[in-house]
Structure 1
Amino acid sequence: MITELNKSEFYKIRHITDKCKNIEVRAVVSGNNPGGVYVDHSTEPTAAFIWIEGQKGFQIVGDPQSISFLTGLEEYMRKHIEPKLQKQNINWVEIGLDPDPWDKTIQNIFQQRNISSDTQHVFTLRGNPQSIEFQDQEVNIQRISCELLKSRRLENHSFLESKILRFWDSTDSFLEQGFGYFVEDNNNVVSLCFSAFVVDKTHAIDIETLEQHKRRNYGAAVARAFVQECLQQGIHPYWDCTPDNTGSIRLAEKVGMSLDFDYQISYYGLS
């Protein structure tokens, strides 16, 4: 029977998720980042369906032949999970998976849905690039600090705080485990790059530049600052993006990252 685990029980699927390349899964299961876990058996799970709060999506891991998932996951989603998503104004179910062998299983589980698939790229840092340095000395790049968050001195403080709280339970949790940089212009955050998910010494990156400030190389500046600290601290940066996001791909490559692996996203709309 499909069961939702309490956070204190997430350890029950560590034997499954420790093998996952996707660090978002391990970040949730380790308790670092918010999310939920649904399993096929409450005592000895063989498969898990994991809610990644920061991504507003799921990952499915473990045994693709789990009878509980094959026969009951679609109904469980419809009765217990999808109503919660709709209350949050989430109109799509997105599920990340290893293409082989979960792709056929997902099609079978959700055969009553109009399910589609796409691919995600993951870039990581290879080697030790020596060319990462600030090119524009006029850009006001700062590290996100406790003092900054407590002072609320930035005019768009709510933007910075909301970005962090999308991925973290609190700003304190973020400051304890992650870090980030931002470009300040006229007392506003106009571009930022920070740790969205953290597992051990791997930090998944979230980066955003406000629309009116794009094409000024601000994204490259904060990404370089972030990756530079990763190099100094022995941290492994992890960059997840869609294949059609050519700007994000160029930026990842610009700071010395290269394609590591792909994974599949299956998705369907909620009526």
Structure 2
Amino acid sequence: MMLLSAAARAVVYQTYRASEFFYPLIGAVLLGTQDGVVFADDDLRPTQIYVEHSFGFAQIIGTKVDRFEEELEGYLLFNKQFTPVKVRLYAPYLPNFLLVEGYDILRSWRQRFTISPDSPQYRNAKAQPAVPDVVISEANSLDFGLIENAFQLACRFWRTPADFIEHAHAIVVRYKGEPASVCYAAAEVDRRAEIDVLTLPQYRGLGLGRVAVTNFVDRCFDSSCMPLWDCFTNNTGSMALAASVGFTAIQPPYPFFTIAR
């Protein structure tokens, strides 16, 4: 495996952006707008590529190369040379080494969703009565400290607070004056935004997550950006929230591997 140069990453991205399994977090690493590493079998003519975001989300793309997959197996499963605490591998395409029965314990299933502005559920969610004692706002530099103190997530994916404020399209929901829920883009590439949503435990069950997501989707559509949802199939809360706002499945669930150091 060799590190892929920035110029080669940009070429790979042009192919990747048309992929059926496109993830903004992976695209952001290829474009260099978020941190991560990219390995390939060859820098001049890469055939198989491994992209790893600094937070751990990763994907294998391209065409199978036996030598590259052998080296990648060592990197991920034996030597565990990755920097994040764990690798979170999107695996709609499975390399041979993850087909071994013993690695089933690492596998879970995730579902991808998209949404249309014409969705009846989305229109209904927008039409829901306002929740009492709730204030909705877009994240800004003046209240960034308050937001980060409540959620500790701004630099989970983005490099700086300024990047988060400018690119994450973050919507903050306050309940009785306190930050309670936030919905933002973990990455935004090619006018596609990867949704992340968090409601603090003490405020769950009040419908605040739905309020945050609906307003985030509004903001995305106003910016001609497509919001994308991706979650574990056993996360019943996330699955139900996505459906309630109008998100629909893009493809059947796909395998996802979590590999800890």
Q: State whether TM-score is above 0.5.
A: yes
Give, in angstroms, the shift of residue 167 of structure 1: 0.9
Checking the alignment, whether the CA contact within 8 Å between 1:128 and 1:231 is kept in structure 2 is no
Give, in angstroms, the shift of residue 72 of structure 1: 2.0
CA distance in structure 2 between the partners assigned to 1:186 and 1:135 by the alignment: 17
> Residue type matched to 1:22 in 2?
F
Taking structure 1 as reference, are residues 33 and 135 closer, same or farther at Cα in structure 2, changes over 3 Å only?
farther
CA distance in structure 1 between the partners assigned to 2:41 and 2:101 by the alignment: 19
Checking the alignment, whether the CA contact within 8 Å between 2:91 and 2:255 is kept in structure 1 is yes
Match of 2:98 among 94, 103, 107: 107
Checking the alignment, whether the CA contact within 8 Å between 1:227 and 1:255 is kept in structure 2 is no
Taking structure 1 as reference, are residues 61 and 115 closer, same or farther at Cα in structure 2, changes over 3 Å only?
farther
Checking the alignment, whether the CA contact within 8 Å between 1:12 and 1:44 is kept in structure 2 is no
Tell me the residue number matched to 2:244: 254
CA distance in structure 1 between the partners assigned to 2:128 and 2:52 by the alignment: 37
Q: Do residues 227 (structure 1) and 226 (structure 2) align?
A: no
Match of 1:199 among 185, 189, 201: 189
Checking the alignment, whether the CA contact within 8 Å between 1:52 and 1:59 is kept in structure 2 is no
CA distance in structure 2 between the partners assigned to 1:112 and 1:245 by the alignment: 24
Uncovered stretches (5+) of structure 2, i.e. residues with no partner: none
Checking the alignment, whether the CA contact within 8 Å between 2:193 and 2:226 is kept in structure 1 is yes
TM-score (norm 1): 0.82
Checking the alignment, whether the CA contact within 8 Å between 2:73 and 2:97 is kept in structure 1 is no
Uncovered stretches (5+) of structure 1, i.e. residues with no partner: none
Q: Do residues 59 (structure 1) and 59 (structure 2) align?
A: yes
Checking the alignment, whether the CA contact within 8 Å between 1:145 and 1:175 is kept in structure 2 is yes
Root-mean-square deviation (Å): 2.6
Q: Secondary structure at the match of 2:240?
A: helix
Deviations 1:214-250 (A, max 9, x none): 1111111111111122233322110110111111111
TM-score (norm 2): 0.85
> Residue type matched to 1:5 in 2?
L
Deviations 1:37-91 (A, max 9, x none): 111112211111111234x23211111x2133233222344676x2444xx5x2x
Deviations 1:4-57 (A, max 9, x none): 235565224224422332322212212222221111112211111111234x23
